Structure 1
Amino acid sequence: MKFSAISLLQELITYPSVTPKECGIYTLVQEIFTQSLGEGAFEVITQEKEGVKNIFLYTPRKAQRHLCFAGHIDVVPPGEGWSSDPFAPTHRDGYLYGRGAQDMKSGVSAFVCAIRDFLAQNSEATKDLQISLLLTSDEEGEGTYGTQYMLDELESRGLLPTMAIVAEPTAHTICGDTIKVGRRGSINGKITIFGKQGHVAYPQNCINPTELLGARLGKIAGVNLDKGDAHFDPSKLVITDIRGGMEVVNVTPNELKILFNVRNSPQTTKEDVQSYVHKVLQGLDFDLQLRQSSVGFLTDSPLVAMMSACIESVCGYTPELSTSGGTSDARFFGARGIPVVEVGVPNDTIHAINERVKPQDVQILYEIFMRFLTQISAEI
């Protein structure tokens, strides 16, 4: 069977590939290319560690330009309350329902079919353009042994791409209306303010960490650490949890813990966060722990203009360039200085009950990728 982008998406939804399960999807993808393009069209590198499986398929001939399409086949758990089986693709009300319909089996389906069809029609294209695809089963998890791990392997083999497209769901209302050209970093923090536990009736014998925090809380909660710029919103310190004590009314807490996150623009670093917190809490007995879970990046490359032009050609509208949202595997390409953009279907139901996608959005994404491959091969 020759899959279309829609029928392949339907097939992929049937695989219950909750992180880090792969469920045989990689074998299916390899078979699709082999049946259409023949043996030897792609070389294959596979990895597996701690239950995470990665695959990298690439055209054998090296070229000055190397375009990689990247994505993940793992999905979050479906949860309870679906109107239909989350792993049985269901068409209803003009939508296709199923876990991964938006995030991001739609993107994988679109670029697998686009690469297959483009190479079938342009067998000589890989003389001057190396094409690859990287798939992981650990984007929705820790990401430790996923795309980052595979890129380390590619670097050791001299196979790092010179540009990348990550088919994450990035659109607001219709496919292609938004391109992610960068992402903010993410800094996780934990503050522990130490006090002295005691009886609430004798406050003179206690050191209450809640009172120590007092008015200083307003200088931490929701504060902007920079002003942002044309590409990034301000870096805001967002408190996610505060706790202390033993959930009783007659004992003061011995310590108070505050958890927070900063989605940081390039204007604010982990060291800046550390300096700011120490300044606000100066004079208190406290401990601060910080961890940078991802580093922000901004793609300033002809790749952005080329993708924008392809979307305008296919869709008739100019996409918004954005750095909003959470993190994605694009950060691992950005960290290596590889120009990367993200473009995909709308993201309004990702991770939600009754996740769904409009079939026409998947078809549009396929056409965008086909147009991009045609354009980039013509410019070489």
Structure 2
Amino acid sequence: MDMSPTQFMAQKAQQASAALEVIGIRKDFESFSALRDVHLRVNPGEMLCFLGPSGCGKTTLLRIIAGLETQTSGQILQNGRDISWLPADKRDYGIVFQSYALFPNLTIADNVGYGLVNSKAKRAEVKARTEELLKLVGLPTSGQKYPSQLSGGQQQRIALARALATRPGLLLLDEPLSALDALERIRLRGEIRRLQKQVGITTIMVTHDQEEALSMADRVVVMNQGVIEQVGTPMEIYERPATPFVAHVVGKVNVLRAQAMGGNRFRVGEMELQCDACNTGFAPGEAVNLYLRPEDRLAEHLLPDTPNRLRVRVTKVEFLGGLCIAEVKADALGGQTLGLNFSLNQLHDLDIREGNYLDIALRANRIRAFSAKAAQA
């Protein structure tokens, strides 16, 4: 359908206000489709995380945005400019890889200033910008050292400084923390987020680590088999997953087999559960799966008429320090089991230990329902 001049101008204004737009991107490798009709809008200054299992297409999409891979079809706009078929060196971005990719024969200062030197920047400008970035990443005295003299986390900070040196409009991070140990990853993810906010650069990060995505991103893009399953803030993705796949990929989740009874009522075993946040469009008798997070329960100050109240038996307790996971079994739910989170204090106060019984209530406003057929798709 032809657009009116007003509609056309509105569309152009919307495109211009986006830092990046991915429009109908498809990538085929012979008979395999790595990406299928992907649409995405990235807002200026936000940090977006591509999250999903290996093979879902997240790295392929990042490489296409970078010009390191060519799409089969589709369009990419950066600040309204069509970069769909531009080579990588003609695009406006900095990139950080998981392997650091520093030049071992160059000093840290020379590594950081490498892009500026290639762009024919003046020596004084290179020196000033390099010192500014080394200070920004917390390594102001490391300029004359070599990469081999730095830890993995420090090397990744230098890789980040190098990517920012030319003041690109877009920062791409390809699993930048995966080569680091657990403690360094936690420390550096906070540092990267702080730097991203301080610089204000639009950033796209690829990760398979849900904690990284939830703790760092303004919005998370959950991908599966070459398509986007859901885009939303970390809290939206976690609390209101749009599909069973998203519910499983982001955080831990319990799944209860149930039957729809109409409205917001569902039968699980001998029990009728109330589900205030569930889709009510299921036909009575339809097989559904109810999804709830381990923390979506009440265990204190319960009243006789508290919705979804039931008695469970503790079958296993996993001690994880300040947070513990209790596996419980409920006869009223047809013998189905749940994994529930409790603090260490609750573990003591409620006497939660293997073999003991516990009264709980499942939070009616936190249960999500999906067709059992959707879960098998």
Is TM (by shorter chain) over 0.5? no
Calculate the TM-score normalised by the size of structure 2. 0.25
CA radius of gyration, larger in: 2
Q: Which structure features the higher share of strand residues?
A: 2
Calculate the TM-score normalised by the size of structure 1. 0.25
With CA pairs under 8 Å and 6+ residues apart, which has the higher RCO, 1 or 2?
1
